[in-house]
Amino acid sequence: MKIVTPDAMRKIEDEYINGYGMDSFALMETAVISIMKHVNIKDRNIVVVCGFGNNAGDALGVARHLIVLHKIVKIFICSNGRELSRDCIKNMNILYKMNASIEFIRKTEDLNSLNKSISESDVVIDGLFGTGLSRQLDTYYTDIIKSINTYSKYVLSIDIPSGMNGENGYIMGECVKANKTVALQFYKKCFFCDKAKNYTGDVVVESLGIPKEISEKYDEKVYTSDEITDKILPKRNKYSHKGTFGRTTIAAGSEKYTGAAYIAAQAAVKTGAGLVTLATSKEQVPIMQSKLAEAMICDYEDKYFVEIIKKSNVVACGPGLDSNDSSLKIVEEVITNSECPIVFDADAINVLSAHKELLFGRKEKNIVLTPHPGEMARFCGCSIEDVNNKRIEIAKNTAIETNCIIVLKGYNTVITDGEKIFINTTGSSAMASGGMGDCLTGIVTGLISQGLDPFKASVLGVYIHGFIGDSLSKQMYSVTATDIINKISLYLKEFES
């Protein structure tokens, strides 16, 4: 699904109303009806907190429907003297005719009534600000938001939790902590920023029926990954043989780290890569030979290592490497001897941070870097906090700068080729365990090996990795990389075209 900025949303709405002749109040009523689906019919006492724009207009429409359903509804308008939007006034006038309870919050003392009503309510409908919030809130508004957060039992936010900047997720002084956010028509970009989940609660998107040709015109090329993950895995032809599914080399492991190489190689095997060779350190060879039944093993010093890279359809490099000179040599060998796609992970990315020039001058955009925020920060020369605050921008700029595909891991992994951006929606903290990144590298590599282009393989690989984790975590308290590996081929069936 598409993800939009407030600016794009405004343009889409404007074109629909002013270009196509859609009635703005009818559009607001569509929003109202879709928000109503998320109000628990058992709730009796409802407080509706409104600002003065169209977010408030939506909230007033919701209030009207709730009154019709015989709910006890208290409406608070928090406009701080500002004139209400046209459609907001329309809804308010209908409410006056219906003898609805409407109070204006004008001064600090008025907050007492708001606090009391909220504490007696089952649910608060938050219609203070939506996509229109553009600057820091003053104390008039931060006090109202504090009241909601202090006294409410349950909050349903309309479009965006009030106080969150729809573009970058910044908290503009204070922000409503919603239990659920009903986003209108599209996900808003802010939902995928660091810590947004603490404020949005569960997010649901409700369609307003805006025609696709309008939204495509203002496409900012940011999507959730389910936009392309459905049925993109090619069907396995019954006449295929192991060569059909590609030759994969995994350059992983060092004297120091053992498990990562095994996990990455085994994940590639289980994803369906045809012929997998693990190149590893000399000390690891006998151990890996006994552990990996379906992969061939060689060591980095072997002359076979370069030969196999040259013959490969995809190479993965990095899991369990060390960040020393011998790792640099391995990374150089991988890059200089291959035209095929490469997936660089872990210490290979750390090595490349100091040797970005190795990434330049490739004919095709077929290198995938899969950093976690720490590796991304090192690669970009910024702090982890910077990365977390601007995940989408940093991933995109790095993709443009390096001509690589970037998979910035973490909650809502960002996958971008510098043009399109996909944000992953699968996976959870149940998967926060060692080896998960190595497993992901193996899955992405295994998908590329079978002919998927590196960008699609990255989007699908991240999605499947989290999807399996989510499914397993319904029955398991924590999920390990081995749990995922054991289930990959079973779950991949669901993604077959």
Ligand X SMILES: NC(=O)C1=CN([C@@H]2O[C@H](COP(=O)(O)OP(=O)(O)OC[C@H]3O[C@@H](n4cnc5c(N)ncnc54)[C@H](OP(=O)(O)O)[C@@H]3O)[C@@H](O)[C@H]2O)[C@@H](O)CC1
In whole angstroms, the minimum distance from the beta carbon of 1 to ligand X comes to: 16
Binding partner at 162 among ligand X, K ion, none, C-beta below 5 to 8 Å by kind: K ion
Tokens 């960002």 locate to: 414
What is the token pair recorded at 231?
């049925």
Residues 339-368 that bind ligand X (CB under 6 A): none
Binding partner at 31 among K ion, ligand X, none, C-beta below 5 to 8 Å by kind: ligand X
What is the token pair recorded at 194?
């660091």
Among 92, 184, 196, 407, binds ligand X (CB under 6 A): 184
Long-range contacts of 198-205 (CB under 8 A, 24+ apart): 199/161, 199/163, 199/164, 199/171, 199/175, 200/157, 200/160, 200/161, 200/164, 201/155, 201/157, 201/161, 201/177, 204/38, 204/180, 205/1
Residues 113-142 that bind ligand X (CB under 6 A): 129-137, 141
Residues forming contacts to K ion in the complex (CB under 5 A) are 126, 130, 157-158, 162
Binding partner at 58 among ligand X, K ion, none, C-beta below 5 to 8 Å by kind: ligand X
Which among 293, 318, 269 is positioned nearest to 492, based on CA atoms? Answer: 269
Tokens 């702090």 locate to: 383
Q: Does 319 bind ligand X (CB under 6 A)?
A: no
In whole angstroms, the minimum distance from the beta carbon of 311 to ligand X comes to: 53
How many positions of this chain bind ligand X (CB under 6 A)? 29
In whole angstroms, the minimum distance from the beta carbon of 99 to ligand X comes to: 24
What is 1-55 written as a DSSP string? -BEE-HHHHHHHHHIIIIIT---HHHHHHHHHHHHHTTS-TT--EEEEEE-SSHH
What is the token pair recorded at 390?
């601007």
Q: Which helix (H) or strand (E) holds 430?
A: none
Residues 41-100 that bind ligand X (CB under 6 A): 51, 53-58, 85
Among 3, 4, 5, 13, binds ligand X (CB under 6 A): 13
In whole angstroms, the minimum distance from the beta carbon of 10 to ligand X comes to: 7
Q: Does 158 bind ligand X (CB under 6 A)?
A: yes
In whole angstroms, the minimum distance from the beta carbon of 32 to ligand X comes to: 8
Strand 314-317 to 342-344 pairing: parallel
Report the residue number, 163 or 274, with the smaller CB distance to ligand X.
Answer: 163
The type of residue at 389 is N
CA 200 to CA 99: how far, in whole Å? 32
Residues 205-224 that bind ligand X (CB under 6 A): 208
CA 186 to CA 10: how far, in whole Å? 12
Report the residue number, 63 or 415, with the smaller CB distance to ligand X.
Answer: 63
What is the token pair recorded at 118?
């909220």
In whole angstroms, the minimum distance from the beta carbon of 376 to ligand X comes to: 31
Residue of closest CB approach to K ion: 162
Binding partner at 57 among K ion, ligand X, none, C-beta below 5 to 8 Å by kind: ligand X
Is the separation of the CB atoms in 246 and 273 below 8 Å?
yes
Report the residue number, 57 or 318, with the smaller CB distance to K ion.
Answer: 57
Binding partner at 126 among K ion, ligand X, none, C-beta below 5 to 8 Å by kind: K ion
What is the token pair recorded at 153?
């039992």
In whole angstroms, the minimum distance from the beta carbon of 27 to ligand X comes to: 5
Tokens 């040797």 locate to: 355
Report the residue number, 79 or 229, with the smaller CB distance to ligand X.
Answer: 79
Report the residue number, 29 or 438, with the smaller CB distance to ligand X.
Answer: 29
Report the residue number, 13 or 126, with the smaller CB distance to K ion.
Answer: 126
Report the residue number, 6 or 130, with the smaller CB distance to K ion.
Answer: 130
What is the token pair recorded at 161?
């939790």
Residues 159-178 that bind ligand X (CB under 6 A): 159, 172
What is 154-211 written as a DSSP string? -EEEESS-TTB-TTT--B-S-----SEEEEESSEEGGGGSTTTHHHH-EEEEE-----
In whole angstroms, the minimum distance from the beta carbon of 31 to ligand X comes to: 4
What is the token pair recorded at 427?
């996976």
Q: Which helix (H) or strand (E) holds 275?
A: strand 275-280
Annotated binding site for (6S)-NADPHX: 130-136, 141, 159, 260, 320, 372, 438
What is the token pair recorded at 350?
């750390």
In whole angstroms, the minimum distance from the beta carbon of 185 to ligand X comes to: 6
Binding partner at 279 among ligand X, K ion, none, C-beta below 5 to 8 Å by kind: none
CA 51 to CA 127: how far, in whole Å? 6
What is the token pair recorded at 399?
């993709």
CA 92 to CA 64: how far, in whole Å? 9
Annotated binding site: 55, 126, 130-136, 141, 159, 162, 260, 320, 372, 409-413, 437-438
The DSSP bridge partners found for residue 206 are: 184
Binding partner at 131 among K ion, ligand X, none, C-beta below 5 to 8 Å by kind: ligand X
Report the residue number, 162 or 229, with the smaller CB distance to K ion.
Answer: 162
Report the residue number, 28 or 264, with the smaller CB distance to ligand X.
Answer: 28
Task: Please name the residues in contact with 429: beta carbons below 8 A apart, sequence gap of 6 or more.
Answer: none
In whole angstroms, the minimum distance from the beta carbon of 134 to ligand X comes to: 4
Binding partner at 3 among K ion, ligand X, none, C-beta below 5 to 8 Å by kind: none
Binding partner at 132 among ligand X, K ion, none, C-beta below 5 to 8 Å by kind: ligand X
Q: Identify each DSSP E strand in 402-467 by its residue range.
A: 405-408, 414-416, 421-423
Report the residue number, 131 or 327, with the smaller CB distance to ligand X.
Answer: 131
The type of residue at 315 is V
CA 63 to CA 74: how far, in whole Å? 8
Backbone conformation region of residue 204, classed left if phi is above 0, alpha if psi is from -120 to 50, else beta:
beta
Kindly list the residues in this chain that would bind ligand X in the complex (CB under 6 A): 9, 13, 27-28, 31, 51, 53-58, 85, 129-137, 141, 158-159, 172, 184-185, 208
